[in-house]
Amino acid sequence: MKEYYADKTCLTVMRIAVMILTVLIISVVSYFLAFIPIIMIIICSVFFIAGFFTALVYLPVYFRNMRYYISDKKIVKVSGFYFIKTQTVKISKIQYTTTVSTPFARLEGFNCIMLYAYGGMLPIAFVSNRDFTEIAYNLKV
């Protein structure tokens, strides 16, 4: 059974993206709500806390917990932030697959493999490009 982890480059890109988005929202809010400072401060604080919590706490912990175990017979996905969820799918029960890859996947690792089995779908996301190619190749259902 081989173990795969979420790509750290992807984590960095996502953290930067969340921070930029937070700064942008705060700028827009402070520009348009400058005439009611109290509401502006409250909304900006909420976005600041949410953005920085996501970038500095949630995403690192989520990425640290995320891992995949793949064998000839089954795939196990472990993920979650506070509550850890373990999902297992038998490879023989997978009916079809969909892979999604972005243009700079080689650099930032934004890849996803959706495994469609009886009664549900299991996404394998945020794996490095090398792992993505390897998993997609091995999962010839």
Per rule CB under 8 A, is residue 42 in the interface with another protein?
no
Q: What is the x/- site pattern for another protein, positions 77-106, by CB under 8 A? A: -----------------xxxxxxxxxx---
Q: Nearer to another protein by C-beta: 43 or 122?
A: 122
* Burial class of residue 90 (count of CB atoms within 10 Å of its CB; 0-12, 13-18, 19+): exposed
DSSP string, 46-105: HHHHHHHHIIIIIHHHHHHH-EEEE-SSEEEEEE-SSS-EEEEEEGGGEEEEEEEE-TTH
Residues contacting 64, CB < 8 A, separation 6+: none
Task: Select the span of 23-31, 44-52, 116-124, 125-133 touching another protein (CB under 8 A).
Answer: 116-124
Contact 4, 102 (CB under 8 A): no
Per rule CB under 8 A, is residue 119 in the interface with another protein?
yes
Per rule CB under 8 A, is residue 118 in the interface with another protein?
yes
Per rule CB under 8 A, is residue 121 in the interface with another protein?
yes
CA distance 105 to 19: 21
Contact 117, 93 (CB under 8 A): yes
| CB 119, min distance to another protein, A | 8
| CB 101, min distance to another protein, A | 5
Q: How many residues interact with another protein (rule CB under 8 A)?
A: 17
| CB 82, min distance to another protein, A | 28
Per rule CB under 8 A, is residue 45 in the interface with another protein?
no
Binding site for another protein (CB under 8 A): 94-103, 116-121, 141
